[in-house]
Structure 1
């Protein structure tokens, strides 16, 4: 009897021990289902708005489909072979790289300098922040029209100012030697406020104790404080600004479309404008899709290289 009773007690204890584990398993299952139900709308949108279009572009790039055509043929890598031998594509790629080389350093240097000036000021900080950030918030199409009027070769304010100062003028948007630097200056103007705001936030996050320690160590000049404290502590912000501005530079389209249409003589044609022209003006959708694939690969590779190279030189708190 005692043995049977002990066995029953042991089985009951085992049941009691198993019940919490089953309950915990059910709770975990319910939590997992709840998490997936909450994440599923965003996941569906991500697949529908990003992954499916990317897959469609890759698929179209392997065909000879023309916009509006009822049929197409699979041609493999023929479009990519044409890109390799296309002098126009190499010109637009070179223009895009040169444009980014001018815009990115100019935006970072000027944005950082303006942030330092505003941070060191004693009054009207909010006013100066708003004034410099306004170009980033404004509609680029409207701003491009305004720049077209300012840069008019005869009645534009820029040339009128140069004439009053006795300086030579230029046809800024119709001269092959000036059109790309002019577009780069507009790009710097557009991105300047964004870089300034990020640098201002980075400057405010630097602990005052570091500057006090630098003073004790003899770095009492502003240049020494800038070199030993400010610049190292702004490493993460600088890397983020560099990547974002570089991507925006490679994605330039509006100013080219409105101001130059890639001219004169393809001197201002960039990758996205080439993509647009091939796909929607020449209706070579398959070739335009291959340009989009190459553009995507370049942007992803550029981002990875920037992160790998710059991350080794960045100091994180």
Structure 2
């Protein structure tokens, strides 16, 4: 009588030599472990990826689709017009003026915020007392609601009863209607932007200053760099490179998003002197109800900001010293 066959899936089978042959799974333990880790990673990151797609990528796709239509806010029908909105955007003199105004605003706000933020951080770090008080005072504008602060600035800059003009008149300097003069309106908004972002830059620079090893300053003293300017040039600024790059990028993004002060103080005037990109987008989409045109402005704005941010990051990254 022949011997019964081993059951399918049995782990032990007789080999030709009379020994026992062990059955091995086709999937190795390393692969099973890697698959389990990948599954766990997606389980943890899945909700964040989902909400990122829903809250960021889907609106961007929606805005791009609307930019290809003639849809007006509240309308029940629309038709595709292709790139007509983009051609109108680039041919619009007002849009080109808003681009120039935005660039000028950014070029004033970013250097001013970085320079004065670093200066205040150096002064606070070199002080011996009341550091927490000074940090809180300078950080308060960043935490405050910019719309409320804009109203306060409007009162300060009032042409007749404003504190700024009264102070200038008291010391014999000429006064001006700061927010209604085409030559001063945009620089004044830029000064408010510097004031609002100053505390944020200061806090980041303070954190960077505390991370610089004291040994580097001691070595600089040994090498003869004992003056504060030499220490700043040879030690402080190079070691603050990563922090400076982060501050420049973040402040530039916030400057490109300037809207609140324009809406509250100038409404784009006088004569489109303060008409920035985001206010143009708002006016075309929600005041004139030209939503398709406004979406095209939003797409162009997004492309400009992303391109400049990538170029800025690439250029600054080459000059930054990482520890």
Global fold match (TM > 0.5):
yes
**Map of 1:48 onto structure 2:** 54
Aligned partners of 2:15, 2:190: CA distance in 1, in Å?
89
Name the structure 2 match of 1:90.
Answer: 96
CA shift in 2, pair 1:8/1:22, >3 Å: farther
| Structure-2 separation of matches of 1:299 and 1:5 | 70
**1:9 CA displacement:** 3.3
| 2:209 and 2:236 in contact (8 A); partners too | yes
Q: Which residue of 2 aligns with 1:102?
A: 108
- Aligned pair count reads 310
Identify the residue that residue 164 of structure 2 maps to in structure 1: 158
Q: Residues of 1 paired with 2:95 and 2:15: CA distance?
A: 88
Structure 1: distance between partners of 2:106 and 2:18: 79
| Equivalent residues in 2 for 1:9-158, closer than 5 Å | 9=19, 11-12=21-22, 15=23, 18-19=24-25, 22-158=28-164
Which residue is 1:201 aligned to? 207
Structure 1 residues 27 and 280 mapped into 2: Cα distance closer, same or farther (>3 Å)? same
For 1:238 and 1:43, locate their aligned partners in 2 and report how far apart those are by CA, in whole Å. 30
Please state how far the C-alpha of 1:21 moved relative to its aligned partner. Answer: 5.1
Larger Rg: 2
**Which residue number in structure 2 is paired with residue 302 of structure 1?**
308
Change in Cα spacing, 1:189 to 1:10, as seen in structure 2 (3 Å) is same
Alignment deviations for residues 208-258 of structure 1 (CA, whole Å, 9 cap, x no partner): 111111111111111111111111111111111111111111110000000
* Alpha-carbon distance in 2 for matches of 1:303, 1:290: 20
Q: Does 1:177 align with 2:183?
A: yes
The SS at the match of 1:152 is coil
Distance 2:242 2:257 in 1: 23
Shift of 1:20: 9.9
Query: Secondary structure at 1:11's aligned position in 2?
Result: strand
Q: Is residue 231 from structure 1 mapped to residue 241 from structure 2 by the alignment?
A: no
Q: Deviations over 1:125-163 (max 9, x none)?
A: 010000000000001111111111111111111111111
Return structure 1 stretches of 4+ with deviation > 3 angstroms: 4-10, 19-28
Is the helix fraction higher in 1 or 2?
Answer: 1
- Is 1:221 equivalent to 2:218 in the alignment? no
Structure 1 match to 2:10:
none
Q: 2:259 aligns with which of 245, 250, 253?
A: 253
Cα deviation for residue 23 of structure 1 reads 4.6
Q: Which of 284, 297, 304 pairs up with 1:278?
A: 284
Per-residue deviation, 1:8? 5.5
TM-score normalised to structure 2 length: 0.93
Q: Partner of 2:72: helix, strand, or coil?
A: coil
Shift of 1:33: 2.1
Q: Return the alpha-carbon distance in structure 1 between the equivalents of residues 310 and 266 of structure 2.
A: 32
Q: Which runs of 5 or more structure 1 residues have no equivalent in the other structure? A: none
